[in-house]
Amino acid sequence: MSPSLAATLARVDTPTICNAIEVAEGGRGFARFTRVTPVSAMAEAAFFGFARTARIRASAPPEEPAEVIRARRMAYYKHMSEGPRPAVAVVEDMDETPVGAFWGEINTSVHKALGLSGTLTNGLMRDLGDLPEGYPVLAGGLGPSHAFVHVTEIGTPVRVLGLEVADGDLIHADRHGALVIPHEVVPALEAAIESLLASERLILEPARKPGFDFAAFEEAWAAFEASRT
């Protein structure tokens, strides 16, 4: 990822990226975004990066030997510590109804220290007053207990909040939700974002001026439509 693209992804929100992808693709129909409203912890600003995926369960104790579970957990953290940066932890809770909060003070602090930019999960988080500053989490809900949480798979494709994510996919997220940026649009994405913002200004700048009325709207909308054709 170029420094210029990284700076652009950091300064715009996820709905803007969603619209810009359609600009880059030449029409509506982009659908690789979350479909469930997340619970957001410190995700007012956007976070982004290449997905590091895993799956967990928490509703019942693991059936495998303890040494297997410990080894897999260490392999999980090794996986999270590796790969291209920036990176986002994308973790699917496989319980039908998540009951164990994997994302609390300790685990988020560890992930931040390992160089991840944030977390996207359908599972639960806790310790809202103690999460490390600058590590956003988008989760499926809140819960007080870690229950029997354990890692079951590492690096496999996951489905989180209705979004299918493969290890290495480029994620953009904020309090609205998350999306996968298609690899094929990455070279055109910066230009698409700037084009989108310029066209939006054709409506927003007149609308924010005193005296804006229907006639001014008609004129602004005509310019807006022309910019998109």
Q: Could you tell me if 109 and 203 lie in one domain?
A: no
Q: Which residues contact 215 (CB under 8 A, 6 or more apart)?
A: none
- 10 found inside a domain: no
Find, among 227, 158, 160, the residue nearest to 196 by Cα: 227
Structure confidence at residue 58 (pLDDT): 98
Phi (first) and psi of residue 212, to 5 degrees: -60, 125
- 223 found inside a domain: yes
Give the pLDDT band (50/70/90) at residue 37: very high
- 3 found inside a domain: no
Structure confidence at residue 164 (pLDDT): 98
Query: 197-210, pLDDT tens digit by residue?
Result: 999 999 999 999 99
Q: What is the pTM of this model?
A: 0.94
- Indicate if the pLDDT at residue 170 is higher than 70: yes
Query: 45-96, pLDDT tens digit by residue?
Result: 899 999 999 999 999 999 999 999 999 999 999 999 999 999 999 999 999 9
Instruction: Judge whether 125 and 104 are in contact, CB under 8 Å.
Output: yes
Mean pLDDT computed over 147-170:
98
Per the structure, how many domains does the chain have?
Answer: 2
DSSP string, 14-81: HHHHHHHHHHHHTSS----B--SPPEEES-SS-EEEEEEEEEEE-SS--SS-HHHHHHHHHHHHHHHH
Using CA atoms, how far apart are residues 157 and 24, in angstroms rounded to an integer?
25
Can you give the CATH number for the domain in which 70 is found? 3.50.30.40
User: Of 181, 200, 215, which residue sits at a domain end?
Assistant: 181
Structure confidence at residue 196 (pLDDT): 95
Q: Could you tell me if 220 and 155 lie in one domain?
A: no
Q: Could you tell me if 128 and 105 lie in one domain?
A: yes
Give the pLDDT band (50/70/90) at residue 229: low
Q: Could you tell me if 158 and 202 lie in one domain?
A: no
Read off the DSSP letter of residue 169.
-
Q: Could you tell me if 45 and 150 lie in one domain?
A: yes
Q: Could you tell me if 139 and 195 lie in one domain?
A: no
Give me the percent of the chain exceeding a pLDDT of 70.
100
